[in-house]
Structure 1
């Protein structure tokens, strides 16, 4: 009888180490959210890894890959800063998150062999607006308001 009581106490002590809660992670471009239980002291990096594995196991599209360093996790209702991979998932009190894939940076080189500033496809500045590019590409007239 005392062995059973010791096992119950051990299980009770382990459950008090951290609260578990259900989180919802929306993946940008995916049809629906991923939901799973986490311990409030789990690191954000571990949560991202678990989400990517679950996403891949379910065969969801678009294919994301498995490198957790290529992703940002944002708390959906607590500011605009991405969560640090080394902070606890329960530190901000959120239960709803959004997972974004980092945009790859491309290194451009000029004709002299020197290195130009790295730019992304969506973030070009100084070369005109997207409306101007669209007008040139498709010969449309898009009026500005």
Structure 2
């Protein structure tokens, strides 16, 4: 019989099961955190879990490139120095920060974020799958 030691949680510390949806990904990431944990630490854990699971699109691991939102609380990004339990919710959205890149041609700044290569329609999927099966002799 295999015995293991359970971690003891100090009195007064609550743990939360949170769900973080990454824009462009198939589904949310769920994990347990202490309610006193900072938003920055939660973002770091989410990015590491995302990469460990091999999800797409590839995001990177720099938390300074991302913002965490609470869809219920409004459109303001959460401060990385606040505790995750102070919001009273368990569902969050992780989004890549828009980056300013100067265009080569006209010099106007262009905002770049996560984009999809195709429309994702069934027609584009069908055409791609046909092109993979065509063999040339």
Q: TM-score, normalised by structure 2?
A: 0.70
Bigger fraction of residues in strand:
2
60, 65, 80: which one pairs with 1:65? 60
Distance in 2, Cα, partners of 1:28 & 1:109: 28
Distance in 2, Cα, partners of 1:17 & 1:63: 38
Q: What is the CA distance between 1:49 and its match in structure 2?
A: 0.2
In the alignment, does 2:117 pair up with 1:120? no
34, 41, 50: which one pairs with 2:45? 50
Distance in 2, Cα, partners of 1:108 & 1:53: 32
State how 1:1-145 maps to structure 2 within 5 Å.
Answer: 11=8, 14-108=9-103, 118-120=109-111
**Structure 1, unaligned stretches of length 5 or more?**
1-10, 123-145
- Deviation string 1:16-49 (CA, Å, 9 cap, x unpaired) is 2421110000000000100000111111000000
Q: What is the CA distance between 1:121 and its match in structure 2?
A: 5.3
Q: Aligned Cα RMSD in Å?
A: 2.0
- Deviation string 1:99-129 (CA, Å, 9 cap, x unpaired) is 0011221135788xxxx6633258xxxxxxx
Given that 2:99 and 2:112 are in contact with CA atoms closer than 8 Å, whether structure 1 keeps it comes out as no
Structure possessing the higher radius of gyration over alpha carbons:
1
**3-state SS in 2 of match to 1:15:** coil
4+ runs of 1 displaced by more than 2 Å? 107-111, 116-119
Q: TM-score, normalised by structure 1?
A: 0.66
Given that 1:22 and 1:37 are in contact with CA atoms closer than 8 Å, whether structure 2 keeps it comes out as yes
**3-state SS in 2 of match to 1:38:** strand
